[in-house]
Amino acid sequence: MAREVAVLWWVMCGFASLVLLLVTALWVHAMRRAPHAMDEARARTITLRWLVGGGLLLPSLSIVLLLLFGVPIGQHMLPLPLNEPPLRIEVIGHQWWWEVRYPQSGVFTANQLHLPAGQPVDLDVSSADVIHAFWVPRLGGKIDMIPGRHNRIRLQADAPGVFRGQCSEFCGTQHSHMILDVQAHAPEDFQAWLQARREPQIAALPGAAGATFQARCGQCHRVAGVSAGTRGPDLSDVGSRAQLGAGVLANEPGATLRWLQQHQQLKPGNAMPHHDDLDPDHLGAIADWLETLAP
């Protein structure tokens, strides 16, 4: 679709340039030639000729030509029925992170979108709070995420690769820190990725730090088989994500602890409360444990 939109853009750009050149040439010619007198009947004929030719025929012809290009392209962009139903992925915008669900396999993740390359994928987008917009520029297509509505966009990554997605509707002070890591895999690699997350075997963090996780973090965050919070991002595979905080920090060793300690400095106003009152040893143990959650 994006390719076809690009073709249409170039055709329109070329055509508009031709029209601009033609009109400019006529204008220069009219400015430069010497004035000469003519009788009224001849002047009227010339005026009429320009009105009909330049004011009616030229625009009509131009529009018909552009429609001949544009209408078939518009037709191709409709989400037409496919032979088999495409993979469906739900993407829900939050201030300021992305909730991502694979309803056909019961897999939940956040701030990353994995999809099979070379296959159409239907993204069902909505929002949990304010209006956001889903946009992965290199995959083309952009769609609003509106609370209470489900919009759908069909995308296809032609080849495996990593693409950057970005919320593209201003949604609050941390709008710029709402980055979606999009990864297209070869279909078998995608199935392996999905399978690893389908029934992850996660051992709960033992001891007092584990109790702290349950009492505090687990109220808002889900970890498969450990906690069931839904207010914040699912953390079941947080250790495998390229970034933390929806694009704030590269997920390197030690980054999780830094995020837990400084998240209000790194991303002011985010919904996660300060952790100043938690035992630093517990926070450290929780961070180390979260880093291991990488199915």
Nearest residue (CB) to Cu ion, 167 versus 260: 167
Residue 176 Cβ vs Cu ion, minimum distance, rounded to whole Å: 8
Nearest residue (CB) to Cu ion, 132 versus 221: 132
Residue 178 Cβ vs Cu ion, minimum distance, rounded to whole Å: 5
- Measured distance CA(276)–CA(257) in Å, rounded: 13
Residue 132 Cβ vs Cu ion, minimum distance, rounded to whole Å: 5
- Measured distance CA(292)–CA(241) in Å, rounded: 11
- Measured distance CA(108)–CA(279) in Å, rounded: 30
Nearest residue (CB) to Cu ion, 171 versus 182: 171
HEC profile for 98-153?
EEEEECCCCEEEECEEEEECCCCEEEEEEECCCCEEEECHHHCCEEEECECCCEEE
- On the question of a cis peptide bond just before residue 135, with omega within 30 degrees of 0, the verdict is no
Residues 6+ away with beta carbon under 8 Å from 172? 95, 96, 130, 269
Nearest residue (CB) to Cu ion, 112 versus 166: 166
Nearest residue (CB) to Cu ion, 132 versus 267: 132
Residues 6+ away with beta carbon under 8 Å from 48? none
Site for Cu ion, rule CB under 5 A: 132, 167, 171, 175, 178
Nearest residue (CB) to Cu ion, 126 versus 156: 126
